[in-house]
Amino acid sequence: MLTRELTRRGWRVIATARQEDGELRAMQSASTGQLEIESLEMTDLDQLGGLRERLEERWLVAGQGLDLLFVNAAIDRGEVPIDQVPTDMFTEVMVTNALSPLRVLEVLRTLVAPGGTVAVMSSEQGSITRNMEDGYDLYKASKAALNQLMRSYATRHADDGHTKLLMDPGHNRTRLGGPDAPLSPEDSIPEVADVLEKQAGARGLQFLDRHGETVPW
């Protein structure tokens, strides 16, 4: 959905997908060259390295950089009491939701232009302050871990001149959010895009919702 919104706004977008996506291909056909599609399983370091090489050849050699690097990766394995979560499930969710996005940032960050934005899709579920309801412990922990890793990333690269954002899109009706979620991606994603554009050039790391308001850590 963010790919569609950014191309609608005139951005040239390079989107990645784990598997062949008919909807994404249809968008590409209708985009008149604005949209490129790359295959990436971000938990696969070899694939990530290959993507880096292809983008480097295409962009850095031409003297260009990315204005925005946005990483969106999340899985959820349902409401499993924490004492019943198998170790392999814990590892899978943590690697996908927390470790892999930061690996992507570290591998691709030097492709981002000076003054560009590095952003990751987080969630209010990762806010420790707002964790006032029981349930979904593993997903919450993975998003809190993502936020902490992003905080370390921002400290490590404080002088790179990039805007750094953690985005909370709200609870949306998606495969992850479920059919009973209060928000539609058609409504929330344009708001996320607004925030990304408005925050361009901001300094430091911010954890923001789709309205541009600060989410407490």
| Contact status, residue 165 vs residue 120, Cβ threshold 8 Å | yes
Question: What are the tens digits of pLDDT across the range 126-167?
Answer: 999 999 889 899 999 999 999 999 999 999 999 999 999 999
Question: According to the model, what pLDDT value does residue 173 have?
Answer: 57
Six-digit token string for 175:
């495969």
| Contact status, residue 132 vs residue 93, Cβ threshold 8 Å | no
State how far the Cα of 203 lies from the Cα of 115, in Å rounded to an integer: 9
| Contact status, residue 69 vs residue 108, Cβ threshold 8 Å | yes
Sign of CA dihedral 145, 147, 150, 154: negative
Domains of the chain: 66-209 (3.40.50.720)
Question: What are the tens digits of pLDDT across the range 163-212?
Answer: 999 999 976 556 666 566 566 678 889 999 999 999 999 999 999 999 99
> What is the average pLDDT score of the chain?
91
Sign of CA dihedral 66, 160, 153, 45: positive
pTM for the whole thing? 0.93
Question: What are the tens digits of pLDDT across the range 11-58?
Answer: 999 999 888 677 888 888 887 888 999 999 999 999 999 999 999 988
